[in-house]
Amino acid sequence: MDDFESRLREFRPRRPAAIPDQRLQLLRGPIWVAVAAGIAAVMLIATWMKTPSTDQPAGDTATLTTLALERPDEFDAALARISRASLPDVTQPGGALHQLAKF
């Protein structure tokens, strides 16, 4: 039994070496290059889409910030026009608030 125990103590398990696959080795480089190029293209397109336009408004067109700072009355009128065009009319029967009140 001593002989078995001594051999058991000497045993050191080792991980087997990877089986070389030439096809996998050939594809490893081009695959990573293609993945990196694809990621770079997606990031470039996303950055291009998120970048605000650099077009300046026409000289006679005032921005809302300019209106708010320099001509508050015109700013209030502009906000009223924008809200009428984009928000639902809550005063008419069957409108947004009427539908929500049913719940």
CA distance 99 to 93: 9
Mean pLDDT of the chain: 78
Whether the predicted pLDDT of 22 surpasses 80: no
* pLDDT confidence of residue 55: 52
User: Which range, 1-10, 36-45, 48-57, is most confident?
Assistant: 36-45
Q: Are 50 and 61 in contact (CB under 8 A)?
A: no
Section 17-39 average pLDDT = 79
* pLDDT confidence of residue 60: 45
CA distance 11 to 16: 15
Whether the predicted pLDDT of 54 surpasses 60: no
pTM equals: 0.32
* pLDDT confidence of residue 38: 94
Whether the predicted pLDDT of 42 surpasses 90: yes
